[in-house]
């Protein structure tokens, strides 16, 4: 049903890219907080887990500790697939025994690839491998990894939604892109990213210091 890549980079940014056969996947599964971490809540999704786990990270838990506390706190984790990356410690993954279909996860020092209802387990391997070798902007590396998963077989069914978000130090999601329903969601997400990246820094400046913000370049904007 869903596969994703979560990561932090050397600058302290956190990001995630995700795609699914279900509609509006990013609205439910993708959770980030500046300076704290990133969480994927997948499979039979409870979006409340995103903020709950980020709160635990903010309190000082490691990713492993946060997941352990969730398993103690909630009785439905057998149905959940979760991935967590905090600011410093190793990433952590949980795939409950009721996770759907072919499912798999891979972790590295700074990234996690995870998926369920996959065409094959090699999808997740390809996602992480491509992220580790990719170059360019953080957002581009996340998208390239997602594309590698699609090329390796993707889901057992057709994909219909996708999303990509990154937090840095602005206080909000500097990139927050979604394709909520499409026959080609990953390609559509790539087109959105190509449009967005050249403008991203300008929008951050408009928020942080509007006195120095560049013009929008639309009629009536001076």
Kindly report, residue by residue over 3-53, the tens digit of the pLDDT: 999 999 999 999 999 999 999 999 999 999 999 999 999 999 999 999 999
pLDDT classification of 221: cutoffs 50, 70, 90: low
Give residue 201's pLDDT: 95
Give per-residue pLDDT as tens, 149-198: 999 999 999 999 999 999 999 999 999 999 999 999 999 999 999 999 99
Q: What is the spatial distance between Cα 5 and Cα 88, in angstroms, rounded to a whole number?
A: 18
Q: Long-range contacts made by residues 200-203, C-beta under 8 angstroms, separation at least 24?
A: 200/174, 200/175, 203/174
């Amino acid at each position: 049903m869903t596969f994703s890549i979560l990561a932090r980079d050397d600058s302290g940014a956190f990001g995630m890219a995700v795609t699914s056969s279900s509609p509006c996947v990013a609205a439910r599964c993708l959770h980030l907080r500046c300076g704290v971490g990133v969480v994927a809540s997948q499979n039979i999704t409870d979006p409340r887990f995103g903020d709950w786990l980020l709160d635990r990270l903010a309190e000082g838990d490691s990713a492993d500790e946060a997941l352990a506390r969730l398993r103690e706190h909630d009785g439905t984790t057998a149905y959940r697939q979760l991935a967590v990356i905090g600011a410093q410690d190793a990433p952590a993954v949980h795939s409950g025994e009721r996770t759907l279909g072919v499912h798999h996860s891979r972790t590295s020092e700074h990234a996690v690839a995870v998926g369920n209802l996959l065409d094959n387990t090699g999808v997740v391997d390809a996602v992480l491998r491509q992220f580790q070798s990719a170059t360019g902007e953080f957002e581009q590396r996340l998208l390239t990894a997602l594309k590698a998963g699609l090329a390796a077989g993707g889901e057992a069914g057709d994909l219909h939604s996708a999303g990509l978000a990154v937090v840095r130090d602005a206080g909000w999601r500097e990139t927050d892109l979604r394709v909520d329903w499409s026959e080609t969601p990953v390609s559509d997400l790539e087109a959105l990213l190509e449009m967005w990246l050249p403008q991203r820094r300008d929008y951050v400046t408009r928020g942080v210091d509007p006195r120095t913000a560049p013009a929008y370049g639309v009629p009536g904007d001076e």
